[in-house]
Amino acid sequence: MALPVLTFFPRPRELTLRGGWLKVPALPHPTALFLKALPSTMDEARAALAAAADGACRIVHKPERGAEGYHIEILASGIRLNAGDAHGVLYGAQTLRQIAEQYPDELPHLEITDSPDLPVRGFMVDVSRTRVPTQAELLALVRALGRLRVNQLQLYVEHTFAFPGHEDAWKDASPLTPAEIRELDEACATVGIELVPNLNTFGHMERWLRHPRYRAMAECPEGWIHPLTGQFKEFPGTLRPDQASVDFAGALLDAYLPCFRSRQVNIGGDEPWELGQGFSKEAVAERGKHRVYLDHLKQLCALATARGRTPQFWGDILLEDLALAQDAPAEAVPVVWGYDAGHPFKEQCGRLRELGRTYLVAPGTSAWQSFTGRLDNALTNQAEAVGAAVRHEARGILLTTWGDNGHHQPWPTSWLPMAAGLAQAWGFAANAKTDFAAGCALLGGLSAAEGKVVAAALTQLGTLDGRIAKANRNKSLTWDFLTAKPDALAKFTDGVTAAEIAASQAHLAEAEALIAKIADATIRAELSLGARLAGAGLRRASGQTIAAEERAGLTKEYEAVWLRRSRPGGLTESKSLLFG
């Protein structure tokens, strides 16, 4: 028989085919029993390591393989899985299953050596900007991430946790409950994932500060001017840097942290836009914005360490003044984020490496503020981020997917970026070219054939933005075209030609034909709606009016599709942002 053709997802670091085959007789033959009993949970993996290794097929503890590393040999004499720890057993078992699925009657003689490029391979999903997934969806995500060898998950929370005594902040948000967090925490631990609590404690506090009860804690209680756009914002978003805010954040952490077994916490801290405009104006004038920020950050980090947690924080403000980066609390872990192709990850990571900092790097899926995704930007952004993380010895990556301005994107538009970025975090060189079909099958719980159909549709959708030369940061123009207010639409259509609109419509028609081939009803409905919303945006950009009847129909469909994966809280707000 010819040498086998094997596919793996993610691909291992080294694969050597030896020639020859190991037969797998029917049960109860020992080889078949070994394959059937391969560990699928951390408890099973630990038990396998602790058991006395004997027999032709066995699992052996080899600490020299390193954390999460494993080595597989399939020879005429049997199967040996050597692993550095329980994670290595789990990942090696996943690889063996993939071989057995492709060649169930006889396994090819081979040798595989595998281990991660990055110790931390994290994923963060925004559950605060309108959309909170159902518990079933979150549990399904955990199972898929375990097979993608993710070992850290964060749910980005501003207000969507049922904080006792703060019902006015979350009552309409369908928040996560303590029992649900504990269930997720247990599910994560089962497959080797650390569920790290994530709670913003400084900026992005709009969901709290819009309520009169909390308004006095704001830097600018009466509103503020956005420094990037010059727009007046009615609702404040940044807590004032004082002791009352520290105490408030501490009380929230006291309610939240007991739900998690993790000894880390992401305290946020990104984009405190108003800093220096109100309460802290004099302090900023005297000491500078970055020093005022850093002094308050130290107090927030101290809240985490006092509660036995290592703090993570978004590193954007710190990296605006790299001279201050060395002054951040030594125990804290900055998260370097950037979501555009060409972001200076190399320079930022190089600086943090010089300082001897432990840090994470956060690229994005580029799915938010879009109906179809921005695949080309995502793939470049992620490859640059992971490459810089590997080169400059980052602790790992935290791949993010956000929900800015309505969380309108269909969930599957994140799948191709997730497949690419998370596989590369495991093995950067081995997974430079991503098997999108395998990624979709894994993330969607689909057959291999259906994964290929979904991947084709997502690829076509995700490359829609390239039909128009003009681009906006962190969003698709088709999303801008539909959601822009009438007096702002011209800003987005300026410079866009009729030929580009026509090319986009033709590209979208090809996508819709591919979507129609998807068998899974939920995925087909999600992607079909996303394509039609993008199409409506293109028509609006060409000067057509979206009739009230069509808007009503699309809104009704949006509601139905939303509720397939997400809780009702936030839906009303999300809908209100669809049609400008």
Distance CA 419, CA 454 (A): 13
Tokens, residue 562 = 């939303």
> Domain range spanning residue 329?
120-201+240-270+290-433
**Does residue 421 sit in the same domain as residue 295?**
yes
Determine, yes or no, domain membership for 348.
Answer: yes
| CB neighbourhood size of 556 (10 A) | 11
Residue with tokens 């087909």: 524
Q: Are 249 and 197 in contact (CB under 8 A)?
A: no
Please check whether residues 110 and 133 belong to one and the same domain.
no
56 CB contacts (<8 Å, ≥6 apart)? 30, 31, 77, 78, 79
Cis bond upstream, residue 10 (ω within 30): yes
Give the mean pLDDT of 74-78.
Answer: 97
- What is the mean pLDDT of the segment spanning 357-384? 98
Gap between the Cα atoms of 406 and 24, Å rounded: 52
Question: Do 70 and 140 share a domain, yes or no?
Answer: no
* CA-derived radius of gyration, the chain: 25
The answer on 184 and 255 residing in a single domain is: yes
Question: How many angstroms separate the CA atoms of 542 and 493, rounded?
Answer: 8
What's the token pair of residue 136?
A: 């079933």
Tell how far CA 305 is from the center of its chain. 26
What φ, ψ does residue 548 adopt, rounded to 5°?
-60, -40
Average pLDDT over residues 508-531: 98
For residue 301, the domain's CATH number is 3.20.20.80
* The pair of three-digit structure tokens given for residue 256, joined into one six-digit string: 């939240």
Q: Are residues 249 and 306 in the same domain?
A: yes
Domain end, chosen from 77, 96, 114, is at: 114
202 neighbors 300 (Cβ within 8 angstroms): yes
pLDDT of 441-466, one tens digit each? 999 999 999 999 999 999 999 999 99
CA distances in angstroms from 56 to 29, 74, 249, 562, listed in the order given: 11, 10, 56, 51
In a domain, 53, yes or no: yes
- In the predicted model, what is the mean pLDDT of residues 482-493? 95
Q: Return the pLDDT at 1.
A: 56
Is the pLDDT score of 220 beyond 90? yes
pLDDT digits (tens, 9 = 90+) for 387-411: 999 999 999 999 999 999 999 999 9
Residue 3 scores a pLDDT above 90: no
Report the Cα 318 to chain-centroid distance in Å: 22
Average pLDDT on 566-572 reads 98
**Domain ends where: 401, 433, 465?**
433
The three-state (H, E, C) secondary structure of 418-462, written as one string: HHHHHHHHHCCCCCCCCCHHHHHHHHHCCCHHHHHHHHHHHHHHH
Task: Let me know whether 297 and 149 are in one domain.
Answer: yes
Is the pLDDT confidence value at 2 over 90? no
In a domain? residue 208? no
CA separation for the pair 564, 181 (Å, rounded)? 21
Considering the chain, what is the average pLDDT of its residues? Answer: 96
Q: Assess whether 179 and 196 both reside in one domain.
A: yes
CATH of the domain at 51: 3.30.379.10
Question: Stretch 406-422: mean pLDDT, rounded?
Answer: 98
Answer for the pair 313, 196: CB distance below 8 angstroms, yes or no: no
Q: Which element (helix H / strand E) includes 126?
A: strand 120-126
Q: Count Cβ atoms below 10 Å from residue 516 Cβ, excluding itself.
A: 11
Burial code (b: 16+ CB inside 10 Å, e: under 16) for 100-124 equals beeeeebbbbbebbbbbbbebbbbb
What distance in Å separates the CA atoms of residue 226 and residue 201, rounded to the nearest whole number?
19
As a whole number of angstroms, the distance between CA 327 and CA 325 comes to 5
Question: Are 183 and 106 in the same domain?
Answer: no
Q: What is the DSSP string of 127-183?
A: -SSS--B-HHHHHHHHHHHHHTT--EEEEEBSS-B--TT-HHHHTTS-PBPHHHHHH
Q: How many whole angstroms separate alpha carbon 470 and alpha carbon 450?
A: 34
Domain total for the chain? 2
Query: Which amino acid is present at 169?
Result: A
Answer yes or no: do 38 and 142 share one domain: no
- Residue 395's alpha-carbon distances to 94, 320, 382, in angstroms, are 24, 21, 16
Peptide bond into 28 cis (omega under 30): yes
302 within a domain of the structure (yes/no) = yes
Identify the helix (H) or strand (E) that includes residue 325.
none
The token duo for 576 is 């209100």
Q: 51 in a domain, yes or no?
A: yes
Whether 176 and 296 share a structural domain: yes
pLDDT of residue 164: 97
First vs last C-alpha separation in the chain: 63
Q: Are 157 and 269 in contact (CB under 8 A)?
A: no
Of 409, 433, 457, the last residue of a domain is 433
Identify whether 18 is part of a domain: yes
SS3 assignment, position 576: helix
Q: What are phi and psi of 371, to 5 degrees?
A: -100, -10
Are 315 and 281 a contacting pair, CB within 8 Å? no
79 inside domain: yes
CA dihedral 272, 278, 283, 285 (to 10 degrees): 100
Tens of pLDDT, residues 267-319: 999 999 999 999 999 999 999 999 999 999 999 999 999 999 999 999 877 77
Tell me how far apart the alpha carbons of residues 144 and 148 are, in angstroms, rounded to a whole number: 6
pLDDT at 230: 87
Tokens read off for 482? 């539909």
Tokens of 110: 């081979």
Q: Are residues 28 and 171 in the same domain?
A: no
Same domain, yes or no: 165 and 40: no
Residue 526 lies inside a defined structural domain of this protein: no
Percent of all residues in the chain with a pLDDT value above 90, rounded to a whole number: 92
Closest CA to 34 of 76, 93, 82: 93
Q: Which of 92, 34, 86, 40 is nearest to 63 (CA)?
A: 86
Eight-state DSSP code of residue 389? H
> Binning pLDDT at 50, 70 and 90, where does residue 492 land?
very high
